């Protein structure tokens, strides 16, 4: 994880099999912003992992260009669709984030992915819903972005559906419980929060075998008066 002054960043990923189709990446761009993505290729196993590498190549090559975030998502989706029928069967849900530390804002584009959650110290919660279909499902898709303040003592969570679909019998953990557990955690250390979430999910499922890839990204904007040191 990059060391960004004033922020604690944590990421965690567990593949269901030896390899998986979840993808997470963070890039520092030349303009000083940080570009992040959490993506989920449909399916599991080797076929999804191969498509995840293709997604990585598109994301990293386009990230080097000065593109608006919504256009970045649209171009990745178009590239994926143009790879052919087999690629289209492995469409990708993805949520993109541009973190601007200079003015304390986040820009989000959600392409058919689970809603991202931004919680502020006053108790308000904003969910970033999808602005279009998953990437590679249809040609010529366009997306829209949201820009919001990301003040100190706020926190943000991106995740794949492997977390929400953890089950106890017929009951799934669900996104509401996941976001509530994330926001109610008293720590401002993002890696520790994710470790706690994984423990909560294991407890809920009574340590049942994992049935899908599980990936999450957490970002805490630290209180400047009580900043915790990032975990190595």
Give residue-wise pLDDT tens across range 49-63. 999 999 999 999 999
Q: Which single residue is written with the structure tokens 């970002």? A: 219
Q: Does 228 reside within a domain?
A: no
Q: Is residue 133 part of a domain?
A: yes
Residue pair 66/80 in contact (Cβ under 8 Å)? The answer is no
The answer to whether residue 176 sits within a structural domain is yes
**CA distance linking residue 196 with residue 202, whole number of Å:** 10
Q: Is the pLDDT of residue 229 over 70?
A: no
Q: In the prediction, which pLDDT does 39 show?
A: 97
- Judged against a pLDDT cut of 90, whether residue 44 lies above it is answered with no
Which CATH number characterizes residue 66's domain?
3.60.40.10
Taking 90 as the threshold, does the pLDDT of residue 172 lie above it? yes
Q: Would the pLDDT of 232 be above 70?
A: no
Q: Residue 1 domain-assigned?
A: no
Q: Specify the number of domains making up the chain.
A: 1
Asked whether 206 and 138 are in contact (CB, 8 A), the reply is no
| Domain contains 226 | no
pLDDT score, position 95: 98
pLDDT (0 to 100) of residue 226: 57
Identify the domain containing residue 189 by its residue range.
7-221
- Higher confidence at residue 199 or residue 47? 199
User: Does residue 212 belong to any structural domain of this protein?
Assistant: yes
How confident is the model over 175-196, as a mean pLDDT?
96
Q: Is the pLDDT of residue 231 over 70?
A: no
pLDDT, tens digit, for every residue of 27-43?
Answer: 999 999 999 999 999 98
Torsion angle (degrees, nearest 10) of CA 222, 150, 129, 39:
-50
Q: Say if 153 falls within a structural domain.
A: yes
Q: What is the reported pLDDT for 40?
A: 96
89-147: pLDDT as tens digits: 899 999 999 999 999 999 999 999 999 999 998 889 999 999 999 999 999 999 999 99
Q: What angle do CA 161, 129, 6 make, to 5 degrees?
A: 85
Supply the pLDDT for residue 206.
93
Average pLDDT, rounded, for the chain:
93
**Residue 191 is assigned to a structural domain of this protein:** yes
């Amino acid at each position: 994880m990059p060391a960004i002054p004033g922020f604690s960043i944590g990421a965690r990923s567990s593949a269901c099999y030896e390899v998986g189709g979840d993808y997470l990446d963070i890039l520092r761009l030349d303009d000083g912003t940080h570009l992040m993505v959490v993506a989920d290729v449909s399916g599991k196993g080797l076929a999804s992992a191969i498509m995840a590498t293709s997604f990585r190549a598109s994301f990293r090559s386009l990230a080097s260009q000065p593109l608006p975030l919504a256009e970045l998502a649209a171009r990745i989706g178009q590239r994926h669709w143009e790879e052919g029928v087999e690629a289209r069967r492995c469409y990708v849900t993805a949520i993109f984030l541009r973190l601007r530390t200079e003015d304390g804002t986040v820009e989000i584009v959600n392409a058919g992915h689970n809603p991202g959650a931004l919680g502020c110290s006053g108790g308000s919660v904003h969910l970033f819903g999808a602005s279009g279909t998953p990437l590679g499902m249809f040609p010529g898709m366009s997306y829209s972005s949201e820009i919001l303040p990301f003040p100190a003592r706020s926190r943000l969570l991106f995740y794949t559906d492997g977390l929400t679909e953890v089950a106890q019998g017929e009951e799934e953990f669900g996104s509401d419980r996941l976001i509530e557990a994330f926001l109610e955690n008293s720590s401002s250390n993002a890696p520790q929060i994710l470790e706690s979430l994984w423990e909560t999910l294991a407890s809920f499922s009574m340590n049942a075998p994992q049935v899908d890839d599980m990936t999450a990204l957490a970002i805490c904007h630290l209180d400047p008066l009580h900043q915790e040191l990032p975990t190595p």
